[in-house]
Amino acid sequence: MKYTNLGRTGLSVSRLCLGTMNFGPQTSEEDSHAIMDHALELGINFFDTANVYGWKKGEGWTEQIIGRWFAKGGDRRERTVLATKLYGGMGDWPNQTYLSALNIRQACDASLKRLQTDHIDIYQMHHVDRRTPWEEIWEAMEVLRQQGKIIYVGSSNHAGWHIAKAQERARQRHLYGLVSEQSIYNLMVRDVELEVLPACEDYGLGVIPWSPLQGGLLGGVLRKQNEGKRRLEGRAKEALDSNRAAIEAYEEFCGELGEDPAHVGLAWLLAQPAVTGPIIGPRTMEQLDGSLRALDIDIDDKALARLDEIFPGPGGAAPEAYAW
């Protein structure tokens, strides 16, 4: 396994982050525990979850699964850099959603109880809350840090100007501020290159891409369809149909490289500035093992240029991407 610092911090994390969103709804608790054990065996120490995962409102199903895994002992908690999130609704009562100081406090305590731990390594805001001033958010987060309940604060799905505003408000309060940003980022969805990535580079945030294979469209979907291993319906089928030419070219190029499309997609992300490591969400042990190949693929300048031809990004950072 390869490791890197999370943004400007001294925290060492694996270059692949284990996503747990499938734990519960798609992957049984027994299999989830086995996957997490194997991830540690492979050297993956960075795990990501959220209080809403499991998709049973208020239950925190996935966090509970992780908590029971921690409770098995064997230094599982000590070896894991644990990131979870708040924002989404955990109930129908007022203040059980968003980023008020009250919800931040209550959501953190509830996550700690479900996760069976005394602290969260990276406490992430799952979305920007336009209702709550940053002064209130930072005061609440600082209280949690002083209490020893969280160590770092991260964001997710924030625009570049949200990150800048958050950091400047933190600076005014003499706080460390954000250390990471989780954004959707992959070869097909590259909007963050305009302003989010430049903001993260400038402020020293590590970028943690989610949906690195665009819901499987970059994972060899055409080959799997031909082999009868994958069937798409609804929005996924529409997305494939509208991007078929590019995906065909992509899979053909991966064949020329002699690599699996899924591994190339992850390797491309690992080669991008500010990226700490993409979130992989394996449903099986085989998928987890296969992901490690991405760490050894060297995407040279020629390959990067070809991938840009297949999936053109926005043209670089703003404003040069669209202004003279």
Cβ neighbours around 168 below 10 Å, total: 12
Rounded-to-integer distance, Cα 4 and Cα 94, Å? 40
Among 3, 53, 152, 185, the active-site one is 53
Asked whether the beta carbons of 125 and 86 are under 8 A apart, the reply is yes
First-residue to last-residue Cα distance in the chain: 43
User: What are the CA-CA distances from residue 284 to residues 32, 138, 184 (Å)?
Assistant: 9, 38, 22
Contacts of 144 (CB under 8 A, 6+ apart): 104, 105, 108, 123, 150
Asked whether the beta carbons of 200 and 7 are under 8 A apart, the reply is yes
Rounded-to-integer distance, Cα 129 and Cα 69, Å? 32
User: What are the CA-CA distances from residue 243 to residues 236, 239, 249, 267 (Å)?
Assistant: 11, 6, 10, 21
Token pair belonging to 255:
């064949």
- With CA atoms as reference, report the closest residue to 299 among 257, 250, 256: 257
Cβ neighbours around 316 below 10 Å, total: 12
Phi/psi of residue 145, nearest 5 degrees: -65, -45
Specify whether 152 is catalytic: no
Question: Which residues are 82's β-sheet partners?
Answer: 47
Do you know the residue count of the chain?
Answer: 324
* Pairing, β 3-5 against β 12-14: antiparallel
- With CA atoms as reference, report the closest residue to 273 among 324, 216, 313: 313
Which residues form the catalytic set?
A: 53
